[in-house]
Copies of this chain bind each other. A is one copy, B any other.
Amino acid sequence: MDISQKLARRTEFMQASAIREILKVVAQDGMISLAGGIPAPESFPMGIIKQLTNDVLDEFGSAALQYDKTEGFEPLRVSLIPHLTERGVVNVNMDTLTIFSGSQSVLDLVAKVLITPGDTIAIEAPSYLGAISAFNAYEPNYVSVMTDDDGIIPESLEAVLKENDVKLIYLVPTFQNPTGRTLSLERRKRVAELVKQYDVLVLEDDPYSALRYSGTALPPLQQFTPEHVVYSSTFSKILAPGLRIGYCVAPKALARWLVIAKQGNDLHTQSFGQAIAALYLSGGYLTEHLPNIIELYRPRRDAMLATLENCMPEGFRWTHPEGGMFLWVEGPAGFDGDDLYHACIKRNVAFVPGKYFYFDESLGIATMRFNFTMVTEDVIEKAVRTVAETAQQLLA
């Protein structure tokens, strides 16, 4: 049978992630990788998880292993309400909060219930690729909103909203992947105004805000216009990504549709992992463990910033993220991040060329994404020195 003759039209818009292909290349022995986007395994609370797997069976018994409500495991939803309220999310209740199989599944299902082929999604340039890969299956058009060091530029957003019938805006306002940038408070308010004015929905993807190493926490965009925002987050960066526990707070009528769509998608998110996450919150373990993660990552960020400062050739600039997992480097005009990537690979250092994070790759030729959470400070210093030397040679 020729499967290619049987495929749905939407497969024309779907493809394997280019970055996943890069990650396969850089997984070779001896390679120092600043390419990945995953938490350091030493950030996982292994002892706590070991204890909680036992506690879960003692406390919830077979309920942690049985079919469950599509909306999510009730003790987890109950525990999340005060947690999210403390984070500044508003309108968090049993009608608006739903658990999903990782925040990737939130991205998928929000697009599934909102996007008819040809509808327009506005994305940041650059943006998180996993979102594009979720959205593509629903055959949207994309329009790009320009960004600077304070996140998306409201004037650019307004122009986009004026010129296009935008169905959904996708934003990572805090410690964005790939740039590490954070949307300023003033801009959050302005974006909320625009969103209300144009009556458009925003998907606010917030996987990283708990990982703050300096500066002051900002309220989520959702706080300023909850009826227009789906606030999405995850346990992947504060507990363990392999459990695949994400969630969102959505306007009630939309939350109802997300549950109906999720019922067809996967019935419900696995109960056992939800039960672990419930006890992780309600037992105070997150409060106990989060400082360990922050103390692990902060020196790594600092080491990367210090080495960039000491070593990078003139003409390069980079972001100074207050949290998260990435920073973003931009070379001088005419510089090619892909050339640097290939030259560095030969010296056993990897990162991701920034162009892959743009819908229009030509906008990101000079850019690069560096992850600072996966390797120790001394390895980061060595890797960034190698990148800097190689960049110098390419410029010469």
Q: Measuring CB to CB, which residues of chain A are less than 8 angstroms from any residue of chain B?
A: 1, 3-4, 6-11, 14-17, 20, 38-39, 41-42, 44, 46, 49-50, 53-54, 57, 61-68, 101-102, 104-105, 108, 112-116, 119, 130, 133-138, 167, 199, 201, 227-228, 236, 240-244, 251, 253-254, 257, 260-261, 263-273
Q: Which of B15, B108, B264, B270 contacts A273 (CB 8 A)?
A: B270
Query: Distance in Å from the Cβ of A373 to the closest Cβ of chain B?
Result: 13
Given the complex of chains A and B, what is the CA–CA distance between A367 and B105 in angstroms? 37
Query: Taking the nearest CB of chain B, how far is it from the CB of A286, in angstroms?
Result: 15
List the B residue with the shortest CB-CB distance to A275.
B242
The 8 Å CB contact of A66, one of B102, B116, B240, is: B240
Q: Are B67 and A241 in contact (CB-based, < 8 A)?
A: yes
Q: Is the CB of B50 within 8 A of A62?
A: no
Of chain B, the residue at the smallest CB distance from A65 is B240
A227 touches B1 (CB 8 A): yes
Supply 19 further A-B pairs (C-beta < 8 A) apart from A1-B251, A16-B260, A41-B66: A1-B201, A3-B253, A4-B253, A6-B167, A7-B113, A7-B114, A8-B138, A41-B65, A44-B65, A46-B61, A49-B65, A50-B54, A66-B240, A130-B264, A134-B264, A240-B272, A243-B272, A266-B266, A270-B273
A7 to B115, CA, bound (A): 7
How many angstroms between the C-alpha atoms of A201 and B1 in the bound complex?
Answer: 9
Cα A4 to Cα B138 in complex, Å, equals 18
Query: Looking across the interface, which residue of chain B has its beta carbon closest to that of A52?
Result: B53
Shortest CB–CB separation between residue A24 and chain B, in angstroms?
10
| Chain A interface SS verdict (over half) | helix
Listed from nearest, the 9 A-B pairs whose CB atoms lie closest are A242-B271, A41-B62, A65-B240, A53-B53, A3-B253, A244-B270, A133-B264, A65-B242, A9-B116
13 example contacts (A-B, Cβ-Cβ < 8 A) are as follows: A1-B251, A3-B253, A6-B167, A8-B119, A11-B261, A16-B263, A41-B62, A68-B242, A104-B267, A108-B264, A135-B264, A137-B265, A272-B273
What CA separation (Å) do A102 and B68 show in the bound complex?
13
Question: Are B46 and A10 in contact (CB-based, < 8 A)?
Answer: no
* Interchain CB contact under 8 A, B251 and A3: yes
- Count this chain's copies in the assembly: 2
Specify which of B1, B16, B269 is in contact with A244 (CB 8 Å cutoff).
Answer: B269
Task: Provide the residues of chain B in CB contact with A44, threshold 8 Å.
Answer: 62, 65-66
Q: Which residue of chain B lies nearest to A57 when distances are taken between CB atoms in the complex?
A: B50
On whether the beta carbons of B102 and A266 are closer than 8 Å, the reply is: yes
- How far apart are the CA atoms of A53 and B53 in the complex, in Å? 6
Check A265–B6 contact: CB distance below 8 A.
no
Q: Which residues of B contact A16 (CB under 8 A)?
A: 260, 263
Name the residue on B nearest A131 (C-beta).
B264
Q: Are B14 and A261 in contact (CB under 8 A)?
A: yes
Q: State the CA gap A27–B82 with chains docked (Å).
A: 29
**Which B residues lie within 8 Å of A251 (CB)?**
1, 3
Q: Which of B101, B136, B263 contacts A133 (CB 8 A)?
A: B263
Give the contacting residue for A137; candidates B38, B261, B271; CB below 8 A.
B261
Distance in angstroms between the alpha carbons of A42 and B65 in the assembled complex: 11
Tell me if A108 and B11 are in contact (CB < 8 A). Answer: no
Question: A14 touching B54 by the CB < 8 A rule?
Answer: no
Provided the pairs A8-B119, A138-B8 are in contact, do residues A67 and B38 lie with their beta carbons within 8 angstroms? yes
| Chain B residues whose C-beta falls within 8 Å of the C-beta of A8 in the assembled complex | 112-116, 119, 138
